[in-house]
Structure 1
Amino acid sequence: MGRSPWVWGRRRAPPAPPPGGRGAPPPLPALGATLGRLLGALEALVAPGERERAQRLVRDFGAPGGAGPRLQERLRRQPPAPPRLPEWPWGSSERLPLPVHTSAGLVLPRQDWEDWRGQLAFAARFVAGVLDFRLQLRWCPRFPAAAQSPEPWLQAAFGGVPGAGAPPDEVLRVPPGASPPNFITVSRNGQFFQVEVCDESGSPLGVPSLRAALGGAEGPLGPGGGAPPWGLLTGQHRRAWGRAYGLLMRDRLNRASLGRIQRSLLALSLDAPVMAAGRGPGGGAAQILHGGGAGANSPNRWFDKTLQVVVGEDGTCGVIYDPAVIDGAVVADMADHALQFCRGPDPAPWRPSCPPHPRPQRLRFSLGPEIGPEFERAKRHLDSLAADASVLCVTHGGFGAAAPAQELLQVALQVAFYRSHGSLCASCEPTSLGLVLPGGSDLLRPPGAPVLALAQALQDPQQEEQLQVTLLREAVQEQARRRQEVGAGLGAERHLRALREAALAAGEPLPELFVDPAYALATHFRLCTLQVRSRSGSWLVRGPLVPDGYGVGVTHVAPQDPQDPPEPPEPPKTPEPPFLEEEGGALHITITSFNCCRETHPERLGGALGGVLDQLRGLLRRHGPL
Structure 2
Amino acid sequence: QIHAQLCRIRSQSWKTDKEPMGILTSEHRHTWGQAYNRLLQDRINKDSVRLIEKGLFTLCLDSPVMRISDEKYASRMAAQILHGGGTYSNSGNRWFDKTLQFVVGEDGSWGLLYEQATAEGPPIATLLDHILQFCKKPDTVRAPLVPLPMPKKLYFYIDPAIKWDIEMAKQNLDILINDLDITCFNFQRFGKEFPKKLRFSPNSFIQMAIQLAYYRKHFSIYCMIYHSCNYYHVKNLGRTKCIGNSPISFTHNIIKSDTVIMLNEIKLLVFLILYYCSQDAVSVQALHGQGIDRHLLGLKLQAIEEGLSIPRMFMDTAYGLATHWKLRTGQVPTNTDSVMCFGPLVPDGYAVCYNPQPDHVHFSVTAFNCCEDTNAEKLAVTLESTLQDLQDLLQPAV
TM-score between the two structures when normalised by the length of structure 1: 0.58
The alignment yields a C-alpha RMSD, in angstroms, of 2.3
Separation in structure 2 between the aligned mates of residue 456 and residue 323 of structure 1, nearest angstrom: 40
**2:212 corresponds to 1:419:** no
Residue type at the aligned position of 2:227: E
Deviation at 1:528? Answer: 0.9
Matches of residues 317-336 of structure 1 in structure 2 within 5 Å? Answer: 317-336=110-129
Residue 410 of structure 1 contacts residue 446 of structure 1 at CA under 8 Å; is this kept in 2? no
- What is aligned with 1:523? 323
Aligned to 1:382: 173
Q: Which residue matches 2:17?
A: 226
- Residues 74 and 185 in structure 2, CA contact (< 8 A), matched pair in contact too: no
Query: Are 1:483 and 2:283 matched, yes or no?
Result: yes
Q: Which amino acid aligns with 1:466?
A: I
State the match for 2:132 in structure 1.
339
- Output the amino acid matched with 1:267: T
1:347 CA drift (Å)? 4.3
1:434 alignment partner, one of 227, 232, 239? 232
Contact 2:351 2:366 in 1 (8 A): yes
Is 1:359 the counterpart of 2:140 in the alignment?
no
Q: Give the Å deviation of 1:512.
A: 2.8
Q: Secondary structure at the match of 1:554?
A: strand
Q: Shift of the alpha carbon at 1:507?
A: 4.4
Distance 1:304 1:502, change over 3 A: closer
Q: Name the stretch that deviates more: 212-221 or 260-269.
A: 212-221
Partner of 2:252: 453
Structure 1 position 592, deviation (Å): 0.8
Q: Distance in 1 between matches of 2:201 and 2:147?
A: 52
Instruction: Show the counterpart of 1:598.
Output: 372
Structure 2 distance, partners of 1:516, 1:221, is 54
Rounded Cα–Cα distance in structure 1 between residues aligned with 2:141 and 2:305: 61
In structure 1, distance between residues paired with 2:262 and 2:17: 63
The one of 344, 353, 356 equivalent to 1:544 is 344
**Structure 1 residue 376: deviation in Å?**
0.8
Matched letter for residue 357 of structure 1? L
Letter in 2 for 1:472: L
Alignment partner of 2:233: what SS?
coil
Cα distance per residue 1:385-412 (max 9 Å; x no partner): 2222111122223141232111222222
**Offset of 1:310 from its aligned partner?**
0.5
The one-letter code of the counterpart of 1:585 is D
State the Cα deviation string for residues 73-118 of structure 1 (Å, max 9, x = none): xxxxxxxxxxxxxxxxxxxxxxxxxxxxxxxxxxxxxxxxxxxxxx
Q: Does 1:613 align with 2:387?
A: yes
Partner SS, residue 509 of structure 1: coil
Give the secondary-structure state (helix, strand or coil) at the position aligned to 2:248. helix
- State the match for 2:184 in structure 1: 393
1:586 is matched by which residue type in structure 2? H
Q: Counterpart in 2 of 1:306? A: 99
Give the whole-Å Cα distance in 2 for the aligned partners of 1:278 and 1:354: 46
Note closer, same or farther for the CA distance 1:500–1:385 as it changes in structure 2 (3 Å cut).
closer
Q: Larger RCO: Structure 1 or Structure 2 (Cα < 8 Å, ≥ 6 residues apart)?
A: 1
- 1:215 alignment counterpart: 7
Q: Distance in 2 between matches of 1:258 and 1:231?
A: 10
Indicate if the aligned counterparts of 2:209 and 2:383 stay in contact, CA closer than 8 A.
yes
* Kept in 1: contact 2:248–2:278 (CA 8 A): no
| Residue pair 1:454, 1:472 contacting (<8 A) in 2 also | no
Kindly provide the amino acid, as one letter, of the partner of residue 390 in structure 2. L
Q: Which moved more, 1:384-393 or 1:311-320?
A: 384-393
How far 1:303 moved relative to its partner?
Answer: 0.9
Specify the code of the residue in structure 2 equivalent to 1:468.
Answer: L
Q: CA deviation at 1:439?
A: 5.4
5+ residue gaps, structure 2, are none
Q: Conserved in 1, the CA contact under 8 Å of 2:254 and 2:268? A: no
Q: How many pairs are equivalent? A: 386
1:505–1:380 Cα change, 3 Å: closer
One-letter amino acid matched to 2:202: A
Shift of 1:216: 2.5
What is the alpha-carbon distance in structure 2 between the residues aligned to residue 456 and residue 499 of structure 1? 40
* One of 27, 46, 56 as aligned partner of 1:265: 56
In the alignment, structure 1 residue 372 sits paired with structure 2 residue 372: no
Shift of 1:249: 1.4
Q: Which moved more, 1:242-251 or 1:607-616?
A: 607-616
Quickly say closer, same or farther: Cα 1:441–1:461, change in 2 above 3 A: closer
- 3-state SS of paired residue (1:289): helix
Shift in Å, 1:503:
3.9
1:230–1:321: structure 2 CA closer, same or farther, 3 Å change rule? Answer: same
Q: CA deviation at 1:229?
A: 0.6
Give aligned-pair identity as a percent.
36
1:399–1:585 Cα contact (<8 Å) kept: yes
Provide the residue aligned with 1:283 in structure 2: 76
Decide whether aligned partners of structure 1 residues 234 and 622 sit closer, same or farther in structure 2, where only a CA change above 3 A counts. Answer: same
Alignment-derived partner of residue 16 in structure 1: none
Asked if 1:587 is matched to 2:384, the reply is: no
In the TM superposition, what is the alpha-carbon distance from 1:247 to its structure 2 partner? 0.6
Unaligned stretches of 5+ residues in structure 1: 1-208, 558-583
Alignment correspondent of 2:271: 471
- Indicate if the aligned counterparts of 1:427 and 1:446 stay in contact, CA closer than 8 A: yes
Deviation at 1:233, TM superposition (A): 0.6
TM-score computed with the length of structure 2 as normaliser: 0.90
How far, CA to CA, are the matches of 1:231 and 1:320 in structure 2? 14
Instruction: Give the conservation status (yes or no) of the 8 Å contact 1:399–1:617.
Output: no
Residues 503, 303 of structure 1: alpha-carbon distance in 2 compared, 3 angstrom cutoff: closer
Shift of 1:373: 0.7
- 1:346 offset after TM fit, Å? 8.1
Whether the 8 Å CA contact 2:25–2:32 is kept in 1: the answer is yes
Q: 1:284 to 1:404 in 2, by over 3 A?
A: same
508-517 vs 489-498, which deviates more? Answer: 508-517
Check conservation: 2:353, 2:363, Cα contact below 8 A.
Answer: yes
Deviation, structure 1 residue 349: 7.2
Amino acid at match of 1:422: F
User: Aligned-pair distance for 1:448?
Assistant: 4.7
How far, CA to CA, are the matches of 1:358 and 1:476 in structure 2? 59
Please name the residue that 1:509 is paired with. Answer: 309
Cα distance change of structure 1 residues 589 and 230 upon mapping to structure 2, 3 Å threshold:
same
Q: Counterpart in 2 of 1:253?
A: 44
Query: Which amino acid in the other structure matches residue 119 of structure 2?
Result: I
